[in-house]
Amino acid sequence: MIKSIIVGLDGSDHSRSALKYSTWLASQFDATVTGLHVVDIISIEGSFFHDISGSLGFEPYLDFTSKMREALQERGTAILDEFTKVCQAEGVRCDIALQIGIVPSEICERAREADLVVLGNRGVNQRFTTGLLGGVTESVTRQCSKPVLVTPLEFQKPEAPLLAYDGSERASAAMHVAAEVCSQLELPLAVLTVCRDAEQGERVLDQARRYLASYALATTTGVVDGHAYETIPSEIAQHGYDLVFMGSHGHGRVMEFVLGSTTEYVLRNVPCPVFLNR
């Protein structure tokens, strides 16, 4: 099921944790991991450098840009060399890719060739970002056509996965992946539906029970009253779930756009990896 994994690398501790999750998954699924480092074109040709070029003159600007590009490419090569050594030590098949461009766009483009993208929930510029989710990661989770695993700072081998299920198309896709992954890893799967109407919640859970019955999985299910964006992190904290599967959006796309996505809130407020499906 997962045979090709792309992990975004920027040299940060968060990306090293993403690499640990990637190599662990690759070892479990006999997959190949591609380490992807993107030299950010904005860092080379950003507005700041355009602004100062007028005062420096055209030639100094060109020279500076060339040196900046060279330095960033050398740094990317060093990051990928470290990646290769880690994969070899773990006995995992690997490949490398060094791109230049807009980071989220390059990751999403490369993801077309993979089954899964793995990213740390923060990046090398974490001290300059607001909130608890890196800008690149947030952009990729919004745009990427393939499943994305967003990982925390510390690696922990999952033992208690949770599927957040609301009956939507994307949640159904997440349920399929959760069933496949948990079956392969021989892990139990808890299924949670957040719904104000308990009867409606049970109908949604019945869909999940019927689907999961064909898998050799130890499953538990439950309906919880409340708002999904608050309840899911609360349930994770209360029950110690250490891996969450969910759709990238639920039913309320318009309301999520206006009020803020449940998915984004969960990503910002849980300490465990989140496996997102579109």
Mean pLDDT of the chain: 86
Taken in order of first residue, the domains within the chain and their CATH numbers are 4-151 (3.40.50.620), 161-277 (3.40.50.620)
* Those residues with Cβ within 8 angstroms of residue 269's Cβ, 6 or more apart along the chain or in another chain: 132, 233
Give me the count of residues in the chain.
Answer: 278
Q: How many Å apart are CA 252 and CA 66, to the nearest integer?
A: 47
Q: Closest Cα partner for 207 from 227, 244, 196, 195? A: 195
Q: How many Å apart are CA 162 and CA 221, to the nearest integer?
A: 10
pLDDT digits (tens, 9 = 90+) for 207-221: 999 999 999 999 999
pLDDT value of position 178: 97
**Would the pLDDT of 265 be above 60?**
yes
Looking at residue 168, the DSSP 8-state letter turns out to be S
Q: Which of 29-38, 58-67, 108-117, 170-179 has the lowest mean pLDDT?
A: 58-67
Q: Closest Cα partner for 177 from 133, 219, 146, 209? A: 146
* Those residues with Cβ within 8 angstroms of residue 84's Cβ, 6 or more apart along the chain or in another chain: 35, 94, 96
Q: Give 253 or 201, the one with higher predicted confidence.
A: 201
**Would the pLDDT of 91 be above 70?**
yes
Q: Give 46 or 144, the one with higher predicted confidence.
A: 144
Confidence band, pLDDT 50/70/90 cuts, at residue 65: confident
Q: HEC states along 27-54?
A: HHHCCEEEEEEEEEHHHHHCHHHHHHHH
**Would the pLDDT of 139 be above 80?**
yes
Confidence band, pLDDT 50/70/90 cuts, at residue 254: very low
Q: Closest Cα partner for 277 from 250, 253, 247, 252? A: 247
